[in-house]
Amino acid sequence: IFTWLPRHQEAFEQLKLALTTAPVLAPPDFNLPFEIHTDASDFAAGAVLSQEGNHPIAFLSHVFKPAELNYSTYDKEFLAIILALRAWRHYIHGHPTTVYTDHQALISIQTQTFVNRRHNRYLQFLAEFGNDLIIRYKPGRSNVVADALSRIPNLNSISTLGPSPELLHEFAVAYVSDPLTETFFTGGAGPTKWSLHDGFIYEEKNGEKLIYVPASKLKYCRR
């Protein structure tokens, strides 16, 4: 005969708490406004979608592509907002949404008049949300979840054997002056087993696609 003891009740209460509190994801309540917290580091962007009580609905982490690594801090933080809105558009479109960023200059982006082509594309996308979208400043020390998500790639580069984001960036820059890749990037012929993905050249060997290392960077692969 099973006897319900105090330790069983304690375990049951702990389970209930675990199932109703973060980091378990909550379903969206479309009767409540949404909140998005965004942040960007040198190499990645992070965001969290939540509602009343800051219970998370979804998380986002994006490693910057080679071209994005060259963006200014302003543009990286701006991109973090755009990535989050694109990812969760199906949730927030037509619903009041406040975006929190730790980059204070971004709170006026919806009214800025002098823009480049990239900013213009971003602003056209923001306009789709109309007055439902508000962007507010929140200091980084209060934006810890998005900040952590934007720094995950740094941890990955330590715990894996793959090249770091910094080294990948150096590869992409070196392609321009590498004797083989310079011709390939200007429309000339390259080795038949070369292909281009996300700004990097890959070479097929033994059924695997391996990133091509420019001659000037081979020293980093021989340590």
Among 3.20.20.370, 3.30.420.10, 2.60.40.1120, 3.90.1150.10, name the CATH number for the domain at 27-156: 3.30.420.10
Helix or strand holding residue 60 (H, E): strand 56-63
For residue 51 the two structure tokens come to: 């509602």
Q: What is the pLDDT along the chain (223 residues), one digit of tens a residue?
A: 556 677 766 766 665 665 555 556 778 888 999 999 998 888 888 888 998 766 788 888 888 999 999 999 999 999 999 999 999 998 999 999 999 998 888 888 877 776 788 998 999 999 999 999 999 998 765 555 555 555 554 444 433 345 566 666 677 777 777 777 766 655 555 556 777 665 667 777 777 777 777 777 766 554 4
Give the other-Cβ count within 10 Å of 91's Cβ.
17
Interior angle at CA 191, CA 185 and CA 193, nearest 5: 105
| Under 8 Å between Cβ of 119 and 78 | yes
What residue ranges do the domains of the chain occupy? 27-156, 162-221
